[in-house]
Amino acid sequence: MLEVLNPATEEVVERLEPATEGDADAAVARAREAYPAWRALEPADRSRLLRRLADALDAEHENLARLESKNTGKPIGDSRGEMGMVAETFHYYAGMPERLLGDTIPVSGGVDVTFREPLGVVGLIVPWNFPLTIASWKMAPALAAGNTLVLKPAELTPLTALEFERIALEAGMPEGVVNVVVGPGSKVGKRLVEHPDVAKVAFTGSTEVGKGIMAEAAGTIKRVTLELGGKSANVVFADADLEKAAASAPVAVFGNAGQDCCARSRILVERGVFDEFLSLMEPAVTGMRVGDPFDEGTEMGPLISADHRERVASYVPEDAPVAIRGQAPEGSGFWYPPVVLAPVDNKDRAAAEEIFGPVVAVIPFEDEDDAVRLANDTIYGLSGSIWTENGARALRVARRIETGVISINSNTSVRVATPFGGMKQSGVGRELGPHALDLYTEVKNVYLSTEED
Ligand code: NAD
């Protein structure tokens, strides 16, 4: 039996029978059966159904937010924001079926036109840190493009995915278009990756598992998109609005208790303002409200599991250079306080590896070239921020940092209408915005001769 816990209390909130490989096969078969009719639907009708689903998600907003907080421990305010984004993602892609345009290409002897065609059944495998949000980034464009899907949520956080399946059916989505299977990644997830009737796998998770998925997908030349780990840099120049940068830095890494692929978990600070920056950051760290996810004032919840807490703690050994340590509750729940390590060398384990918890490494740099060198000295390339009042420098550095997403004088990375994804070992492909549709369609080229007989 799969026991689903509330990480803030360690109580069991649900017991589920885990799916098997046979259940995965059955879900793929249902999706395959539903595919021809879903694909053939008039674009305006597909649009209408997706809009109804988006409206239903709006109506279930509070229910979904509470469920997500109960299952992940994230503060209720954060869950409300996330569930707002889930509905918004469906509203956005509901407008897309009629906008899947092709090209008309002038060629000799006739005309050449292209069509954007769906792939078929897609397998979507998602992690536990933003369970329904990340699933929606995959489901909405996949469905808009005419694919049917099998979604496998993380075993630790399946509840909102199961609720979504119910909402989708009640909103009028045809049987078999959306299928959710809850089971272990090593069996059920693996089966989706190997399955010959699954045309594509879209995966979000760790770089290690992503590498295995890429290798396994080769067996069927399956399309893959991968959203993997990160170790993003928050680069603070001496000419920045330091107060603003220092107030934002803790939010940028301790949000979702640091369990965020976009976490700015390396803060690079120009040496001349290093100590001043740490002093400015201190009140935002020590004052961070860590506790009950259902208390409206809570800013940070617990970690997802006891195992994960142990892993995070291994990055803060006895002799770690702890510059600032925040508060965390005692007793039941997988609590861990926000921790700032400074100064850290970029080669140290805490600066090189993705911790995925509320631990940040602060690293000094000498000048612009040094900042870029340090920011790029990582296997990852997902996100990041640059703080400076010099606009030309901001853009120059943004162009030089090897990352899929970067913000200037801001710590936000994700918007429904803009592409999101990683360079280097942070992944392959882009989600969100119009770009995501490219990853759920194939281009078909049709040539029509206009020659006379
Ligand atoms: P994980 O890689 O352990 O698991 C992710 C999903 O893959 C789960 O559903 C799991 O059951 C499944 N899985 C595990 N083994 C599998 C296999 N062999 N075949 C198929 N599926 C398998 O990741 P996690 O611990 O759930 O999530 C944390 C990781 O996710 C972090 O590294 C984080 O950076 C990353 N992440 C990346 C993004 C992004 O957009 N780049 C977003 C969120 C999280």
CA of residue 442 relative to chain centroid, distance? 24
If asked whether residues 242 and 142 sit together in one domain, one would say no
If asked whether residues 53 and 87 sit together in one domain, one would say yes
- Domain that residue 378 falls in: 233-408
Gap between the Cα atoms of 18 and 29, Å rounded: 19
pLDDT at position 453 is 79
Distance from the CA of 357 to the center of ligand 1, in angstroms?
15
Q: What atom in ligand 1 is closest to the CA of residue 227?
A: 41
Note whether residue 212 is domain-resident: yes
If asked whether residues 6 and 114 sit together in one domain, one would say yes
Q: What is the pLDDT of residues 38-56, one digit of tens each?
A: 999 999 999 999 999 999 9
* Whether 262 is catalytic: no
Note whether residue 24 is domain-resident: yes
pLDDT band at 381 (very low <50, low <70, confident <90, very high): very high
pLDDT band at 252 (very low <50, low <70, confident <90, very high): very high
Which of 28, 125, 134, 187 to probe ligand 1 with, by most ligand atoms within 8 A of CB? Answer: 125
Of residues 248, 238, 266, 239, the one with CA closest to residue 376 = 266
Of residues 210, 196, 175, the one with CA closest to residue 120 = 196
pLDDT band at 361 (very low <50, low <70, confident <90, very high): very high
Task: Assess whether the C-beta atom of 206 lies below 6 angstroms from ligand 1.
Answer: yes
Are 237 and 269 in contact, with CB atoms under 8 Å apart? no
Task: Assess whether the C-beta atom of 229 lies below 6 angstroms from ligand 1.
Answer: yes
* Whether 261 is catalytic: yes
Note whether residue 325 is domain-resident: yes
pLDDT at position 288 is 97
If asked whether residues 271 and 124 sit together in one domain, one would say no
Distance from the CA of 205 to the center of ligand 1, in angstroms?
2
Note whether residue 452 is domain-resident: no
Task: Assess whether the C-beta atom of 152 lies below 6 angstroms from ligand 1.
Answer: yes
Q: Whose CA is nearest to atom 11 of ligand 1?
A: 185
Distance from the CA of 130 to the center of ligand 1, in angstroms?
11
If asked whether residues 96 and 10 sit together in one domain, one would say yes
Q: What is the CATH number of the domain that holds 97?
A: 3.40.605.10
Mean pLDDT of the chain: 98
Are 111 and 448 in contact, with CB atoms under 8 Å apart? yes
- How many domains is the chain partitioned into structurally? 2
Task: Assess whether the C-beta atom of 427 lies below 6 angstroms from ligand 1.
Answer: yes
If asked whether residues 213 and 277 sit together in one domain, one would say no
Instruction: Read off φ and ψ for residue 49, nearest 5 degrees.
Output: -65, -40
If asked whether residues 287 and 435 sit together in one domain, one would say no
If asked whether residues 93 and 240 sit together in one domain, one would say no
If asked whether residues 148 and 265 sit together in one domain, one would say no
Q: How many helices (H) and strands (E) does the chain have?
A: 15, 18
pLDDT at position 128 is 98
Q: What is the pLDDT of residues 18-27, one digit of tens each?
A: 999 999 999 9
If asked whether residues 398 and 439 sit together in one domain, one would say no
Task: Assess whether the C-beta atom of 201 lies below 6 angstroms from ligand 1.
Answer: no
Residue among 60, 88, 155, 261 flagged as catalytic: 261
Q: Whose CA is nearest to atom 42 of ligand 1?
A: 261
Q: What is the CATH number of the domain that holds 330?
A: 3.40.309.10
Gap between the Cα atoms of 419 and 106, Å rounded: 30
Q: What is the pLDDT of residues 394-434, one digit of tens each?
A: 999 999 999 999 999 999 989 999 999 999 999 999 999 99
